[in-house]
Amino acid sequence: MGFYWVGFIFWTLIGFALLLSVYGLCKKSSKALIISGIAFILPMLYFGGAENWYRLLAFIPLIPFVLAYYTNKRVQR
């Protein structure tokens, strides 16, 4: 059984996105949340092609983008 780079990159992107999401929420940084959403997009496209309720996982990248919008809107006031 070999080492699968695709799986490693997949889980690394998910971990990176989760860390940036937590950092962005703690520091109220819209840039960190946007980068988190971008990092979530590629792994979640895989789930978009799945069947049943796994398709709903493809909507997870929308959460950091919405939070970034609201944190950016709050900072501008």
pLDDT tens per residue, range 23-61: 999 998 999 999 999 999 988 888 777 788 878 888 888
Alpha carbons 17 and 20: distance in angstroms, whole number:
5
Helix ranges restricted to H, the chain: 5-27, 30-48, 62-76
Number of domains in the chain: 1
| Enclosing domain of residue 58 | 5-76
Q: Is the pTM of this model over 0.85?
A: no
Q: Are 48 and 55 in contact (CB under 8 A)?
A: yes
Tell me which amino acid residue 2 is: G
